[in-house]
Chains A and B, each alone.
Chain A
Amino acid sequence: MSQNPDRKDPAQSPTALAFFGAVTASVSHELNNVISIVDQTAGLLSDLLAGPDPASTLTAERLERIATSISTQTERGVTIIKRLNTFAHTTDEDRIDFELNETVSNLAELVRRLADRRRVTLTVESAPLAITLSGSPFTFQELLFACFQALLEHAEAGNTLHFSVLGSDTVPVVAVACDRPQSAEAMDLGKVERLADLVGGRFTVISDDTHTAIELHFS
Chain B
Amino acid sequence: MAKATVLLVDDEVEFSAVLADRMRQRDLDVDTAENGEIALERVKERRYDAVILDLAMPGIDGIETLKLMLEDNPNLQIILLTGRATVEKGVEAVKLGAVEFLEKPAKIDMLLEKIETARNKSFELSEDHFENMISDIMKRKGW
A residues whose Cβ falls under 8 Å from a Cβ of B: 25, 29, 32-33, 35-37, 39-41, 43-44, 47, 51, 69, 73, 116-119, 157
Contact = CB atoms under 8 A, between A and B. Distances in A.
Interface of chain B: mostly helix, strand, loop or mixed: loop
Interface in B12-67: 12, 14-15, 18-19, 21-22, 25, 56-59, 61
A44 B18 contact: yes
Interface of B: 12, 14-15, 18-19, 21-22, 25, 56-59, 61, 83-84, 104-108
Contact of B83 (A36, A43, A73, A116): A36
Contact of A36 (B12, B25, B56, B59): B12
Nearest to B103: A32
B22 A37 contact: no
22 contacts: A25-B84, A29-B83, A32-B84, A32-B105, A33-B12, A33-B15, A36-B12, A36-B104, A37-B12, A40-B18, A40-B22, A40-B105, A40-B108, A43-B22, A43-B108, A44-B22, A47-B22, A69-B14, A69-B18, A73-B14, A116-B58, A157-B59
Contacts of A25: 84
A25 to B, nearest CB: 8
Contacts of B25: 47, 51
Interface of A is mostly: helix
Q: Which 7 A-B pairs have the closest CB atoms?
A: A32-B83, A36-B105, A39-B105, A40-B18, A36-B104, A33-B12, A37-B15
Nearest to A117: B58
Nearest to B13: A37
A25 B14 CA distance: 22
A116 B61 CA distance: 12
A56 B25 CA distance: 14
Contacts of B106: 36
Contacts of A32: 83-84, 104-105
Contacts of A118: 58
B22 A35 contact: no
Contacts of A157: 59
A89 B74 CA distance: 49
Contact of A37 (B18, B21, B59): B18
Contacts of A40: 15, 18-19, 22, 105, 108
B32 to A, nearest CB: 13
Contacts of A119: 58-59
Nearest to B106: A36
Nearest to A26: B56
B83 A117 contact: no
Contacts of A29: 56, 83-84
